[in-house]
Structure 1
Amino acid sequence: MQINVLKFGGTSMADHKTWKKVLEIIKNYEWPVVVVSATARTTRQLVKAAQLAASGDLEGAFEISESIKQRHQDIVDNFLQENPHAKNDLIRESCFKNMDAKIGKLNKLLTYTSRQGKLSPQMKDAISAMGEQISSYLLAQCGLSLGMMTQHIEARRLIKTDNEYGKANPNKMLISQHCGSLETVLENGFTPIIGGFYGEAPDKTITTLGFEGSDYSASLIGGAVGAETIEIWTDVSGVYTGDPRFIPEAKPLAEISYFDATEMAYFGAKVLHPSTLKPAQERNIPVYVKNMFKPEDAGTKIVREADHDLPVLALSFKQNMSLLTVSAHETLMGFSFLPKVFSVLESYRLPVDAVNTTEASVTIAISDDVILDQLSKDFIEIGSVSIERGKGLLTLIGCSVQTASNFRNLLLEPLSDLNIDMISFTKEKRIFNLVIDDEELLPSAQKIHRTLFS
């Protein structure tokens, strides 16, 4: 049995017309396992509702809850109206019954949050996972109106994690054990439809895998069932040399390695979740990034080894960054100072995007968020701390040594009028980083892309 794991998210789950496209794509596979995200905007709405409830505005939270319900009911109504089937009345009844139950549970969670007066990480996960629970069930039911044998499978039965709410770590051994049931579903002629993004902790509470975690869910399931391919269906035709939303002349890459694709995701490319490729790489499963609106396009194939003769493979950038510098107290030597700095980062499970060190100081580029102030307080025990906000990180992926050594012509001349705060190059990883002012990030990325890829 050659299983294909297909993941659909974002704009592919926007409305009844895109749902129809999703189901038509699924029909082309003999043994598909389908993972879907929430419908467009739903997860953000759920988080907003949770925040309103925690702040005491339960009425505002309920208004969002009702709007989510109404939007999904409209999708189902429109889908069934355009795709007549003898069982559509039963399908609609089943959809609306499930919707009432989910929204009822959501409202209970919002009420509890309001009474607590705060939004705990556990409650945030329970609320934000509602989107995938709703969309996966409704899509499976809509598939029945097309004569497909689609079957909803609750993700909590498959995706087992620890209780690190918000960024849970999967238990791959348990996931492999539970995903064995999918082969039975397929052998019986059914197509499983599973919600991505969330799973279940050992105490049966809901956890989430992080923002855009539906990709990760698909890869975990693909690895567990030994899939022939894992396919990420989105609204672009693969992984591009730059973000096509901001760099119109960016071009799709035919093939890249797991390593380079992971680095691109880590440094700001929005196509994939940074952890997506780990399970696929462990089982050497090719991952395809495809365009559901142009399914005939080849897309990008991600494999273990991929050859290219480009001086730079791609460009990524991250906005809303900060430079945090910690300078050691005079009593601390370098061999004890640096471990203390990185121990603090480890305690927050914070990734460092770029770093520059001396014996007595370290400067790190890090995402600017609410945790930064608390982080700086912890660093005060180690040394003096300074923070420069309003920075951006521009990263070149797959940068050859020759290109890096020639950075004056390729990089610095196009950016000669800018103040560059940090430069770093890693020969082994072929990663070249520049930290500049955030307001100059996008025009600088566009200039560099034209220089490298025109």
Structure 2
Amino acid sequence: MKVLKFGGSSVASSENIHKVISIVKESSYKNKVAVVVSALGGVTDLLLEAGSLACESNNVYINKFKEIESRHINVIRELIPVSNQSSVLGEVKKVLNKLENTLEGVFLINELSNKTSDKIVSFGELLSSFIIAKAMKYNGLDSTLKNSQELIVTNETFSNASVKFSKTNAAIEKYFNQNKHTIVVLPGFVAKTEKGEVATLGRGGSDYTAAIIAAALNASILEIWTDVSGMYTSNPKFVKQAFPIKNISYQEAMELSHFGAKVLYPPTIQPVLEKEIPICIKNTFDAKADGTLITKVSSNTNPIKGISHIENMTLITLEGSGMIGIPGFSKRLFESLAHHQINVALITQASSEHSICIAISNQDAEKAKKAIDTTFSYEIEQRKVEPLTVEKDNAIIALVGDNMKSHQGISGKMFSTLGKNNVNIRAIAQGASEKNISAVIAHKDIKKALNTLHSEFFENQTKQLNLFIVGVGNVGGKLLAQIKQQQQYLLDNLKLQVRVIALTNSKKMLFNEDGIELENWKILLDKGEPLDMDLFHEKVTKLNYRNSIFVDNTANEKVSSLYASYLKESVAVVTCNKIACSSNYTNYLNLKRLSREYNAPFLFETNVGAGLPIIDTLKNLVASGDKVTKIQAVLSGSLNFVFNNFNKKNSFYEIVKEAGIQGYTEPDPRIDLSGIDVMRKILILARESGTKLELSDIENNSFLPEISLKSASVDDFLATLKTEANHFNKIQQNAANNKCRLKYVAEFDDGKAKVGLQEISSNHPFYNLDGSDNIVLFFTERYSQQPLIIKGAGAGADVTASGLFADIIRIGNN
């Protein structure tokens, strides 16, 4: 004998019921089969709504009834041959008339007891089982219908009745011993009391019905058919990488079911557990899939079987010095909750006995607070106990596995993994059996926590990086091209899955929670929504992805002002925008502090030298205990390009224009040529070496004439480069006469910094610096005679993008 149970989604439509009939037909080829069915998908909710509306004297209950009536009549017309429809419709309409009369009675007396509610919701299973049994018969199956109310006997706790197993088992055995049909269809969820009154088995009651029948008949297997292919390693709605668990133990299944795995109702397991009858969770819509087999002992070698969660939880804390050493506090607390039928999902108590913390459903929070406040009113008044702490909007996550107790370090790995991803743990509970490790976290962190833990315990240690990129001009466009080119390499060799979740240009922004297709990002961005940086931040925060990285490719001050808000949300910041790190010293220190406090990397290697490892080298020198005494550098690739190519053959204006076309200068070349850009860079290096310095402290010896410095716009500025050509020609000619080359040099020495154009002789390290290259000389206590030199390409979209990409990868590797 096999017992098959089909849930509401499996019987939601005629199309789905045809799938059920095919499955039953195949299962009954060599076996007798009991088929337990739920109400048509969504009908139970409609029945509850109709009852509630009727109780409120709201005529809308009639519309709900008509919707229920229409659902069943349409299914009959689609399932049953036309020649047989009239008899089936006649019987169904008789049942619907009883339902209508019951609802009308509730409407007239404005009362809906649990007993009446049970009667109303029972109609769902009674109707579906009748229709499905008839459909099977008319499809050539040897089927019959048996009302479960004639088999399952309960007490009178309506809406959640307890089964009287001796009478129930006897009735089931007697009926099936006499039954001659291959297939018996039974309504789930419904039962009757010893007095013959309608009762229901509570939430998940159809599963329970199937388990009761399977246990009473010593069935070979109980199959629970639903809309997913088994119990998953985590909720696939939150964790896309989750996969079905092939084999799991009864205890593990009960733990996962209790913690939110909706495919199985926990009490279901108990009757079959005692008989060691296997349970198989199968998918009605993918019948060939293996599903999940639940047995006494699982065969999977992974000590963790699943990660589950319960949403919408409230954390309540009772604490006070008057609790220490006084017996009975726990007893009084839990008695007060039990008296008000409040279920406790998690309990934790400090060994000092100073506090007891419990987690309950949000909907019970107010009721629980009143009950506990009443119970401990005297202690609160005497200040022996503090006023109750109630914290809503939490969730419980749980690692589940029978073999966790024989593997060291699992709890440590769980908590360190959450900590690294800035998921704050509010409470922890672990039983001595070590089958379950539970933690209370903020509700907003559910998705991040589940994905983080799933990656740690079930995936091949692949780390997912989620990028939110602002600015897709020269640098941003090159960065996207590099990411696209290297995505597979990073996945294969570094186990890094890099996803671009959001993009912006100056007008539009684009979000895709699953990652933007980089092949056609330009087309997609053009169709995006209007740019709103506050809304952009709100969306990033709401997504709350693990390993989120905000990438700023702009030179925009407003964008740089948002860094603190991202770091506070534990979102890493990678930027080539120098404004933040060269802003006032207090802001610079605050960003560094926030990075440490919220474990969110703040990387800005490309602020100085584009892709050159200048800042990283400086950090390593300082971290290793070395002290910087002096810095000399050519830090402007654009200015180096300009003065390396400025000669008698080329005008100064033409070279500056060419530098812009090549992407060496900022969009506003005044930032480069005025020396502001170089000032910011030497300021950042000075600060990173440990010196408190402001931009205003740096001496700027500008080579530009006064009219250029005072120009009101970029066009005006470029025009002055033509009108003041003699000024620039004279500078170039003087250097040539002295057999020197012009270099724009930044210096930091003895706590002071300056920048300016210098004539460099042939014996200096800067003399042969060609193209747009940068060079930095670090003089330190260890490198006192011969400086540490870093030299290479220091400007251009490609190298700047590669520097940003390197910072992103650095975050992924940490």
TM-score by length of 1: 0.92
1:342 and 2:334 are equivalent in the alignment: yes
From 449, 452, 457, the counterpart of 1:447: 452
1:362 and 2:362 are equivalent in the alignment: no
1:40 and 1:185 map into 2 onto residues whose CA distance is 32
Aligned positions of 1:295-334 closer than 5 A: 295-327=287-319, 330=322, 334=326
Task: Give the C-alpha shift of residue 70 in structure 1.
Answer: 0.8
Distance 1:301 1:63, change over 3 A: same
Distance 1:180 1:408, change over 3 A: closer
2:300 and 2:10 map into 1 onto residues whose CA distance is 31
Task: Give the C-alpha shift of residue 331 in structure 1.
Answer: 8.0
Larger radius of gyration: 2
From 24, 27, 34, the counterpart of 1:26: 24
Q: Which residue of 2 aligns with 1:206?
A: 198
Please list the CA deviations of residues 324-345 of structure 1 after superposition, one character each: whole Å capped at 9, or x if unmatched.
Answer: 2234694895421111222233
Q: Which residue of 2 aligns with 1:46?
A: 47
From 426, 440, 448, the counterpart of 1:421: 426
Q: Which residue of 2 aligns with 1:60?
A: 60
2:320 and 2:217 map into 1 onto residues whose CA distance is 50
Task: Give the C-alpha shift of residue 197 in structure 1.
Answer: 1.1
> Is contact 2:405-2:434 (8 Å) kept?
no
Q: Which residue of 2 aligns with 1:36?
A: 37
SS in 2 for 1:421: strand
1:142 and 1:275 map into 2 onto residues whose CA distance is 30
Distance 1:334 1:131, change over 3 A: farther
> Is contact 2:323-2:329 (8 Å) kept?
no
> Is contact 1:121-1:166 (8 Å) kept?
yes
Alignment length (residue pairs): 442
Q: Which residue of 2 aligns with 1:396?
A: 399
> Is contact 1:415-1:444 (8 Å) kept?
no
Identity over aligned pairs, percent: 27
From 255, 264, 279, the counterpart of 2:271: 279
Q: Which residue of 1 aligns with 2:567?
A: none
Residue identity in the other structure for 1:268: G
Residue identity in the other structure for 1:263: E
1:329 and 1:182 map into 2 onto residues whose CA distance is 62
From 404, 409, 425, the counterpart of 1:405: 409
1:258 and 1:351 map into 2 onto residues whose CA distance is 23
Distance 1:114 1:328, change over 3 A: farther
Task: Give the C-alpha shift of residue 423 in structure 1.
Answer: 1.6
1:94 and 1:411 map into 2 onto residues whose CA distance is 62
Distance 1:185 1:76, change over 3 A: farther
SS in 1 for 2:50: helix
2:76 and 2:32 map into 1 onto residues whose CA distance is 25
2:319 and 2:159 map into 1 onto residues whose CA distance is 32
Q: Which residue of 2 aligns with 1:253?
A: 245
SS in 2 for 1:378: helix
> Is contact 1:341-1:379 (8 Å) kept?
yes
Higher relative contact order (CA closer than 8 Å, sequence separation 6+): 1
1:334 and 1:168 map into 2 onto residues whose CA distance is 38
Residue identity in the other structure for 2:62: F
Distance 1:259 1:224, change over 3 A: same
Please list the CA deviations of residues 151-192 of structure 1 after superposition, one character each: whole Å capped at 9, or x if unmatched.
Answer: 111111011111112221111111101102332454x22521
> Is contact 1:237-1:294 (8 Å) kept?
yes
> Is contact 1:149-1:189 (8 Å) kept?
yes
Query: Which deviates more from structure 2 when the two are superposed, residues 324-333 or residues 271-280?
Result: 324-333
Task: Give the C-alpha shift of residue 347 in structure 1.
Answer: 3.1
Task: Give the C-alpha shift of residue 403 in structure 1.
Answer: 6.1
Task: Give the C-alpha shift of residue 419 in structure 1.
Answer: 2.6
1:144 and 2:137 are equivalent in the alignment: yes
1:128 and 1:158 map into 2 onto residues whose CA distance is 18
- Give RMSD over aligned pairs: 2.1
Task: Give the C-alpha shift of residue 194 in structure 1.
Answer: 0.6
From 188, 191, 194, the counterpart of 2:183: 191
Residue identity in the other structure for 2:156: N
1:164 and 2:157 are equivalent in the alignment: yes
1:438 and 2:443 are equivalent in the alignment: yes
Task: Give the C-alpha shift of residue 54 in structure 1.
Answer: 1.4
1:414 and 1:43 map into 2 onto residues whose CA distance is 39
Task: Give the C-alpha shift of residue 95 in structure 1.
Answer: 2.1
Distance 1:200 1:56, change over 3 A: same
Please list the CA deviations of residues 374-394 of structure 1 after superposition, one character each: whole Å capped at 9, or x if unmatched.
Answer: 232222233243321111111
> Is contact 1:337-1:382 (8 Å) kept?
no
Residue identity in the other structure for 1:197: F
Stretches of structure 1 that go unaligned for 5 or more consecutive residues are none
SS in 2 for 1:288: strand
> Is contact 2:9-2:226 (8 Å) kept?
yes
1:38 and 1:297 map into 2 onto residues whose CA distance is 24
2:285 and 2:362 map into 1 onto residues whose CA distance is 35
Distance 1:160 1:334, change over 3 A: farther
> Is contact 2:400-2:435 (8 Å) kept?
yes
Distance 1:414 1:376, change over 3 A: closer
Task: Give the C-alpha shift of residue 360 in structure 1.
Answer: 4.5
1:329 and 1:113 map into 2 onto residues whose CA distance is 52
1:63 and 1:132 map into 2 onto residues whose CA distance is 20
Task: Give the C-alpha shift of residue 368 in structure 1.
Answer: 1.8
Please list the CA deviations of residues 280-321 of structure 1 after superposition, one character each: whole Å capped at 9, or x if unmatched.
Answer: 011111111111222222211111122332141100011111
Distance 1:378 1:19, change over 3 A: same
Residue identity in the other structure for 1:4: K
2:200 and 2:44 map into 1 onto residues whose CA distance is 12
1:105 and 1:320 map into 2 onto residues whose CA distance is 37
Please list the CA deviations of residues 340-372 of structure 1 after superposition, one character each: whole Å capped at 9, or x if unmatched.
Answer: 222233334544221112434321111222x43
1:137 and 1:157 map into 2 onto residues whose CA distance is 15
Query: Which deviates more from structure 2 when the two are superposed, residues 275-284 or residues 326-335?
Result: 326-335
1:365 and 1:451 map into 2 onto residues whose CA distance is 26
Q: Which residue of 2 aligns with 1:228?
A: 220
1:216 and 1:231 map into 2 onto residues whose CA distance is 12
1:98 and 1:324 map into 2 onto residues whose CA distance is 52
Residue identity in the other structure for 1:391: N
Task: Give the C-alpha shift of residue 437 in structure 1.
Answer: 1.2
> Is contact 1:237-1:299 (8 Å) kept?
yes
SS in 2 for 1:129: helix
Task: Give the C-alpha shift of residue 230 in structure 1.
Answer: 0.7
From 365, 368, 376, the counterpart of 2:369: 376
1:253 and 1:308 map into 2 onto residues whose CA distance is 9
Residue identity in the other structure for 1:318: I
Task: Give the C-alpha shift of residue 42 in structure 1.
Answer: 0.5
Stretches of structure 2 that go unaligned for 5 or more consecutive residues are 377-386, 460-814
Query: Which deviates more from structure 2 when the two are superposed, residues 443-452 or residues 8-17?
Result: 443-452
1:328 and 1:154 map into 2 onto residues whose CA distance is 55
> Is contact 1:328-1:337 (8 Å) kept?
no
Task: Give the C-alpha shift of residue 72 in structure 1.
Answer: 1.1
1:289 and 1:406 map into 2 onto residues whose CA distance is 28
> Is contact 2:417-2:453 (8 Å) kept?
no
1:194 and 1:41 map into 2 onto residues whose CA distance is 19
Aligned positions of 1:77-88 closer than 5 A: 77-80=77-80, 84=81, 88=82
> Is contact 2:404-2:410 (8 Å) kept?
no
